[in-house]
Amino acid sequence: MTPLPDFLLEPVIRAALMEDLSPMGDVTTRAVVPAATRYEARVNAREEGVVSGMQVATLAFRLVDPTLVVTTHVADGHPCGKGQCLMTISGSAASILMGERVALNFAGRMTGIASLTASFVAQTRGTKTRITCTRKTTPGLRLIEKTAVAHGGGSNHRFGLSDAILIKDNHIAAAGGIRAVLEAAKAARSHMMRVELEVDSLDQLDQALSIGGADVILLDNMDTPTLREAVALTHSRVVLEASGNMRLERIAEVAATGVDYISSGALTHSARTFDLGLDF
């Protein structure tokens, strides 16, 4: 995928550097490492996975010191092997040490998400189903985490509450039923805004299809036989998204039902941080 513009990522990285370095900078490095010391450091993968966060790590080092020479050896979205060098950083040893933890925190988190996403995507091989994330992201890090999902081969769901209409069970209860919410959404949306409706039974699905107005229907917490029935009932009239309890070990059987998308919050809220190390 095409990298995001650096200026979109910089505010998040600056905030992380401020958290780590303010108010007095790196007092340890200032005390024990001579200012003129120069070094070349390597960011190494300590396990196999799919890389993400190299752009972010590069920005972290360069925000600390624009004179650092950062070279990426494995690009975001590409696989890596255990022991492989992902990046080298050359220049002031003090600057490298100041940027190290923030760079590795981001890259480890993002590579963990990308690697988990790739595992989910692998389970859909041979089907039309695509894996997508949710809004269950770390506050303040949604852009970072959704980027990592894309690096792992997944799709991005809506970014926030403002870029799509997603009507869930609480909306239906508050508004007075499926017909009421679909008619209200149809009246309110622009021609560029898609509508997704969550249903938790085949009866609700049938009702939604009869009323019309939804571009996407989210099949919530349905077992596999019910998902299969939902696909047959829909006849490709709308996009179907399966969600709820979508564990890695279940993805292959759900993809085989013929749904268009499987969304899983686990991609971001349960990804393990990838083991990376910076070595002098």
Residues belonging to the binding site are: 101, 134-136, 158, 168, 198, 220, 243-245, 264-266
- Choose the catalytic residue: 14, 101, 130, 228: 101
- Choose the catalytic residue: 76, 100, 145, 220: 220
- Choose the catalytic residue: 130, 168, 179, 186: 168
CA distance 215 to 220: 16
- Choose the catalytic residue: 14, 42, 136, 194: 136
136 is catalytic: yes
215 is catalytic: no
Omega within 30 of 0 (cis) for the link into 23 = yes
146 is catalytic: no
Residues belonging to the binding site for substrate are: 101, 134-136, 158, 168, 198, 220, 243-245, 264-266
- Choose the catalytic residue: 196, 198, 241, 260: 198
Plot region of 194 (φ>0 → left; ψ -120 to 50 → alpha; else → beta): beta
Query: Which residues pair with residue 39 across a beta bridge?
Result: 91
Contact 116, 109 (CB under 8 A): no
Q: Which residue has the tokens 């852009």?
A: 143
Active site amino acids: 101, 136, 168, 198, 220
